[in-house]
Every structure is written in structure tokens, then in C-alpha cells.
Structure 1
Amino acid sequence: MGDPNDSLPEEIPGVREALENNDIAAAAARIQQYLERENNIPLNIAITGETGSGKSTFVNALRGLSNGDKGAAPTGVTETTVEVTPYPHPNYPNVKLWDLPGIGTTKFPAKKYLKLVGFEKFDFFIIISDTRFRENDVKLAQEIQKMKKKYYFVRSKIDNDINAEKKRDFNEEDTLTKIRDNCVHRLRESGFESPQVFLVSSFELHLYDFSLLHQTLERELPAHKRHALLRAMPNISLEIIDKKKKTFKCQLYWLATQSALGAAVPVPGLSIAVDAAVLVDAVTDYVFAFGLDIPSLKRLSARTDVSYTALCAVIISPLAAVEITTELLLKALTQVGHIATLIAAEEVSRFIPFIGIPIAMGFSFTTTYNILNLILDKLADDAQKLFEMTLNLKIKDE
């Protein structure tokens, strides 16, 4: 089932001291505060660019939405963003993508742009263009640079360029290189020494440079922001799905410790109640992160023209495409023989004089760790199967 020592996270301040003082409640509270903080770290991403550059479509794509979905940013050939507009991620409201008005408009002149949009609240900026980066884009990047914040150039609508070139003999890689080199050359002429330009299609995030953009963001974001970005990221590659699984595994130790501390209190049934709360919260998080909740699957169905029933048929875990409840979890776990045995052993051991509570704590830790590890592996496997299924269908269509 996995060794807890394989993914030990960094130590949580105050937990060791609380345990040394035999203050179980304080230790449990510290762990709970840590997990809540980790899972609710705010991430504010600013998306800006000139009118018609594809800002809103990019905002929607990053949130796993299609244009026209409920809650999607409005799109159109004219400027649809007239105010600084936040769009929370549908599953993780702590992650917000801000659709900013185009720079250089009457209401948002270039010289006052950063002040008017509220520069300070953003973690980084993505500057989008569907042709070449113009004077206003360059001025904005220069101002952001002065403020010591990160910005990234994204050349959008690459799928349109590729489709236009397909009308005649062409080499896709040569075309992409030409577009990238042209953007880089113009930015260098504007004073940027080694600008990096990411070629992206908002309708096909698995293609071109989006994975490279994600890797760059992950590398350059502060450590405490990376988890927020990763959880909210659409499943556009097997690598991202695997990274999500590894990130969640780093929390297993503390979730299992939280369960063990619940077993330390000699109240019949308390440990099971604590375990149930820990399990429901964690598994719900896994389901959302892997896009296996019902709304995400329905959006995937609409986006890929694969029926919702066909998508669900690929899924093996009984905890996907359902609402996670204590009753559902217990029903699923009783079907796994060794897990049921561990749960029973924990309850029995509590009544052993003197050594019963420490033994129960050990059983509780092992049980919770193994349960979550098993569920996490199965949900990640389902996410991978869905990705491969929909990707193969796209390749066949092409």
C-alpha cells in the first residue's frame, strides 16, 4: 500500500512540542490548521492583452470550461471585458483568474493601467497576443518588470495558424518555430534580452507549449503557491495527473497522523468519527482535482462529444462521479478485506489495558494511510484512462 516514509512532508511547527507535552488536542489543531491553509492558499492570475487576443477563452480553458458554459467568461470579436473581472475556479475558489481589460483603451490608458487594475493583488501576469506583441504589450511587460513581478508572453490561437498553413504543403514544426522566432525577435528589438514566448491553443491545451508554460510557472512560483496551481490545472497531460497524485501523497502522513490522534482519546466511536471526517474531505479533494466529479465529467463530455455514460464506463473507482459521503466510503471500504480487518482491530485494541490506546493509534494511522493511498491510486488511474481515451479520440478525428 505504500510506505509512509516515502513521502514525509516538512515538519509542521508546534506539532512535535505539543506531542512532547502530551497535548493531543493542540497537536491535532496544528495539523488541521496546516492542512486547511495548504488547501486554501490564494492564487491570483492576471490575464491581459489587446482586444480580440483570446483572453477570455484562455481564462475559460484554464478553469476547465468551454466558452458558453455556465460561469464562463464572455467572449466575442469586440472588447467584452470592460472591468477587472475575477473568475474563480469552479472547484477551487481560492484560485482566481482575472480577465483584465485591454491595455490602452480610453478607460484603461497604458500609463495608468497597472494602478487601475490593482497590480498588487496578482501573483503573475500572462500577456496574450494572437498575432504579434505590440507597443502596449511591451510597455506593460516593462512596467511589470520594474515592479519585480513575473510576466509571461503567450501567443494564442496557434490552432488557427496551423489550420491556415494546412491548405498548402507545410511542416508544422517549421511553422511553429517561425511564429516563435518572429515574436521573440520583435520583443528583443523592444529591449527584452531573452524573452520566452509560449505558443498556445486554448481549445487544445495538450498541444504546443502549454505544458512548458505550466512547468515554467511551477518552477518560478513560490513553493506554497505551486500546490494551488497544480490542483486547479486541467488534466492536459499524464505528467500533470502524476504530479497531482505525488503532491497529494505528501499530505498522507499528516492526514494519517490526524487520524491517529483521534484514536488517542478514549471515547468509543470517536476515532471512527474523526477518520470519517478526514476521509470525506480528502477524497472529495482528490475527486475534484482529478476532474472526476459529476460537473467536471459533464463538461468533459460536452467538450469532447463523448457521452457522459461512455466516460463513466471507463471509470473503475466507486468514489468517482458520486457525492462523497461517510456512508458511501464505509460501504466501499468494507469491500476491501484487509482494510475492514484493520478497522476492527483498532476498535478491539482500545480495550487492552495500558497499551491499548497506543496500539489503537498505530492501527488508526496505518488504516487511514492505506485507505487514502489506495483511493488516491485508483482515482489517478481513472483520470489517466479518461485522458488517454479522449486524447485518442481527438487524434482519430484529426
Structure 2
Amino acid sequence: MENIDEVSAVPRELEEALKNNSLTTAAGKIQDYLKEINNVELNIAVTGETGSGKSTFVNAFRGMKNNEEGAALTGVVETTMEAKAYPHPKYPNLKVWDLPGIGTSNFKPEEYLQKVEFDRFDFFIIVSSERFRANDITLAKEIQKMKKKFYFVRSKIDNDMKAEGRKEMFDQDKTLETIRQYCIKGLEDQGLGSPKVFLISSFDLGYYDFHDFEETIEKELPDHKRSVFAFFLEYCLQTRKC
């Protein structure tokens, strides 16, 4: 499987062909380039402690319900015993991996990274249903050492809103911001810079930060197809040959 860096050299060749007004050459390179793009694979790992809602989040991210065929297994006890890949329906080459919960007797922090083969993943999503704990911080710092991207997801926000909604003078926006800043400060205090924390309910995807999260992830996907056609369109406009 080719990685993004290997494919990224192709647009430069295409741009050169366009500058030289070679439509035939450019068209050929577009075809070659698209074939290479189809071989690019992204692997996103969803991790965190057991009970944080990882598997439910994996299903939600893929647009599936927990009881659908092909959905990640969920439950009130530890259900994810090994890393398993689930394809994203919109991006076939994007695989969402449901990782075992860290910190249990089966997956101790000092053994976790090696057992789940962290090197194979491109992105990491660290999920917590409350505050981010020591195990989450450990994972984040190890991912930083690997120089890879990661995001924090504060899950089960719908439960918090229901509980806080019983109080007088409830303000949802202020409550959400309080939760967000609480999470961010806790992470900053542990030396993690200025992390972005997404507040998500896997059962109410139309609310909170889920769409913002999806858009953020989508921006991280290879945009080589858009680049190819942007170069091609520029050639068409300049030469009037399309």
C-alpha cells in the first residue's frame, strides 16, 4: 500500500505537463495519478479507556447503529479484545479501528502500544466519557513522540446535558463551553499544548461537535483528486482547449 508522501510527487509532474501545454501528457498523468490515489489507505485508531464509548463512536462515525450488521460490538462490559478495522462507507480506503480499552488487566498501559501495533495507524482519536485520565495522557504523549495526529473526543455529552438540564437557569451553550474548557485545561496542565476537544453524543449526531469533527477529519484526507482537477481546469482556462 502506497503512502501519501509517495503519491504527493505526482501533482508536480502533472503541473509540469500543464505548463508545457501538453494536454495528452497531462491526461495520461491524471489517469495514472487517480490509480495511485485509489491505493492510498488511511487508518484511524479509536482508543481510550474501557467504557468511554469507543465502539459506539466507531459506529456513529461510520453512520451505523450499534445493532446493525457489521457494527462494532458494544456493551456494558469490556467487549473489544483486539484491534479491529471497520471501513468508512463514504471513503472505502479509510478504515476506522476499534482498539481495546487501555488500563484493564488485559491491556496495561506499559504493554498497550506494542499489543495494538500503534505504528500502523495514521490518526488517533482518544475518547473519554468524563475527564481525560492518566492513561489518555500517556497515549497522547506517545502519539506525539511518533509525530502523528490525534484528537480528543469527549463522549456521552447527551447524558451531561440531561443531568444539567434539571438545574435551574440551565444554559446549554455555557455548559458545553464549561465542559470543553475543563477538558482543555486538564490536558494543557499535562503539557499537551492547546488541544482541540470535540464534544460528541454518538446517539445525537445532529448536535454538539460531531459535524465539526467529521469536517476536520475530512480535511486530513488526501486531496490529491481535487488538486489534479484544479491543475487540469487551470490548463483548460489558459489554453481554451477544453
TM-score, structure 2 normalization: 0.79
Give the 3-state SS of the residue equivalent to 2:125 in structure 1.
strand
Cα 1:80/1:105, change in 2 over 3 Å = same
- 1: distance between equivalents of 2:167 and 2:130? 20
- 2: distance between equivalents of 1:20 and 1:198? 46
- 2: distance between equivalents of 1:13 and 1:59? 37
Give the 3-state SS of the residue equivalent to 1:195 in structure 2.
coil
- 8 A Cα contact 1:15 1:30, kept in partner: no
Q: Deviations over 1:362-397 (max 9, x none)?
A: 6xx5xxxxxxxxxxxxxxxxxxxxxxxxxxxxxxxx
Partner of 1:172: 172
Partner of 1:50: 49
Q: Aligned-pair distance for 1:156?
A: 0.4
- 2: distance between equivalents of 1:144 and 1:163? 34
Cα 1:139/1:13, change in 2 over 3 Å = same
Question: 2:137 corresponds to which letter in structure 1?
Answer: V
Give the 3-state SS of the residue equivalent to 2:14 in structure 1.
coil
Give the 3-state SS of the residue equivalent to 1:125 in structure 2.
strand
**Residues paired across the two proteins, number:** 225
- 1: distance between equivalents of 2:227 and 2:32? 18
- 1: distance between equivalents of 2:213 and 2:34? 28
- 8 A Cα contact 2:127 2:155, kept in partner: yes
5 Å-filtered alignment, 1:350-369, equals 365=242
5 Å-filtered alignment, 1:46-85, equals 46-85=45-84
- 8 A Cα contact 1:12 1:31, kept in partner: no
Q: Aligned-pair distance for 1:102?
A: 0.7
Computed over aligned residues only, the root mean square deviation of the Cα atoms, in angstroms, reads 3.1
Give ranges in structure 2 of 5+ residues lacking alignment: 1-10, 236-240
Q: Aligned-pair distance for 1:178?
A: 1.8
Partner of 1:129: 128
- 8 A Cα contact 1:46 1:100, kept in partner: yes
TM-score, structure 1 normalization: 0.50
Cα 1:152/1:27, change in 2 over 3 Å = closer
- 8 A Cα contact 1:138 1:187, kept in partner: yes
- 2: distance between equivalents of 1:20 and 1:163? 62
Q: Aligned-pair distance for 1:122?
A: 0.9
Percent identical: 52
Partner of 1:157: 156
Question: 1:153 corresponds to which letter in structure 2?
Answer: F
- 8 A Cα contact 2:14 2:26, kept in partner: no
| Structure possessing the higher relative contact order (Cα contacts under 8 Å, 6 or more residues apart) | 2
Partner of 1:251: 229
Cα 1:27/1:79, change in 2 over 3 Å = same
Partner of 2:184: 184
- 2: distance between equivalents of 1:130 and 1:144? 20
Q: Deviations over 1:59-113 (max 9, x none)?
A: 1111121111121111111111100100012353311000000112233221121
Give the 3-state SS of the residue equivalent to 2:86 in structure 1.
strand
Q: Aligned-pair distance for 1:248?
A: 5.9
5 Å-filtered alignment, 1:1-398, equals 12-13=13-14, 16=17, 28-169=27-168, 170-217=170-217, 221=220, 225-227=221-223, 251=229, 365=242
- 2: distance between equivalents of 1:180 and 1:251? 39
- Bigger share in helix: 1
- 8 A Cα contact 1:44 1:124, kept in partner: yes
Give the 3-state SS of the residue equivalent to 1:90 in structure 2.
coil
- Bigger share in strand: 2
Question: 2:88 corresponds to which letter in structure 1?
Answer: H
Q: Aligned-pair distance for 1:42?
A: 0.9
- 2: distance between equivalents of 1:160 and 1:182? 17
